[in-house]
Amino acid sequence: MERKKGKILFFLLLAVVVFALGSLLLADVRKKEKAASEHAEAVGDGAEDEPAPTGAEESQVLEIAASESESERENELETEEETEPYVSPIDFEELWAINQDVVAWIRIPDTRIDYPVLQGRDNEQYLHTDIEGNDSVAGAIYLDVEDEADFSSLHNILYGHHMKNGTMFKDVVFYKEQDFFDKHQDIYIYTPEKEIHLKALAALYTSADGIRRRTRFYSGRALDDYVRKMTAGAVTRAESPGPVNRLYSLITCSYEFPDARTVLYAYEVEE
């Protein structure tokens, strides 16, 4: 009898244990299902909602946006400035109405050099002919016939008379004085398409040899070698600017010996 009661008690305990384990397993499954459901609702389409920014964060975002907007406006203004067409300070239409051979205007601040530049059919045409086509001892300032009219040659040569009254290229001879040379470094050439800024490089007196009129060079090294040779006897000069991309010569008569020339060499400033 006692044995039978023991078996019944054992099976009852076993049933309680099994029921308890089952309940625990069922509760765990439901807990996992609930957690999965809550995660799915939170994730939504796969992107978590960002927390709303605080007042300080909002202010910072607005400042960044304003800064970016201002930067964009500045870039737009710079682009507009870069694309603005060049307007020459010289009225070339008026000059061409007088003479179609006008190609530029040369100006050296604080000197009397402020003239139109012409280019004739040869280097004799404007030696004793003015811009209006009249015979003139003073002639005109003119560009070498071998040069390109737009000053794209590697060596651009300008001629002008040394007039006793101080006109034309008389002031070029003063570049042989270092003080004058240093104070008149800037030279400007205006064309219909652009402004060319030159810096004085060296000045000297020399003979009228044809080598001074060379305008064609097969390489940058050949031009560098030419510049070095042409300025070797300079009586005044500036500090070396490094390689010269484009050379200019302003040539006038000189009186150190018969048929002498004063040559002012200048180089184009890259701007």
Task: Pull the structure tokens for residue 181.
Answer: 């040379």
β-strand partners of 206: 261
DSSP 99: -
pTM above 0.75, yes or no: no
135 backbone dihedrals φ, ψ, rounded to 5°: -65, 135
What are the C-alpha distances in Å from 16 to residues 9, 20, 194?
11, 6, 103
Within 8 A by CB and 6+ apart from 88, the residues are 190, 191, 192, 193, 195
HSE at residue 4, side-chain half, CA atoms within 13 A, is 1
Instruction: Classify 118 in phi/psi space as left (phi over 0), alpha (psi -120 to 50) or beta.
Output: beta
Among 215, 234, 205, which Cα is nearest to 158's?
215
For 113, counting Cβ atoms within 10 Å of its Cβ (0-12 exposed, 13-18 middle, 19+ buried), the class is buried
pLDDT in tens, 26-52: 555 465 555 555 544 444 444 444 455
Using CA atoms, how far apart are residues 255 and 206, in angstroms rounded to an integer? Answer: 10
H helix intervals, the chain = 2-43, 55-83, 92-98, 178-183, 220-230
Q: How far is CA 38 from the centre of its chain?
A: 62
pLDDT for 47 = 41
According to the model, what pLDDT value does residue 270 have? Answer: 84
List Cα–Cα distances, 189 to 71, 90, 186, 228, 260, in angstroms. 36, 10, 10, 24, 26
Find, among 187, 173, 181, 177, the residue nearest to 238 by Cα. 181
- Please give the pLDDT value at position 42: 45
- Walk along the chain (271 residues) and give the pLDDT tens digit of each residue: 555 555 556 566 656 555 555 555 555 546 555 555 554 444 444 444 445 555 555 556 555 555 666 666 666 666 555 668 889 999 999 999 999 999 999 999 999 999 999 999 999 999 999 999 999 999 999 999 999 999 999 999 999 999 999 999 999 999 999 999 999 999 999 999 999 999 999 999 999 999 999 999 999 999 999 999 999 999 999 998 889 999 999 999 999 999 999 999 999 998 7
CB neighbourhood size of 114 (10 A): 12
pLDDT of residue 227: 96
**Residue 225 and residue 210: Cα distance in Å, rounded?**
17
Q: Of 177, 181, 187, 173, which is closest to residue 267 (Cα–Cα)?
A: 187
Closest CA to 108 of 4, 261, 248: 248
Q: Are 262 and 177 in contact (CB under 8 A)?
A: no
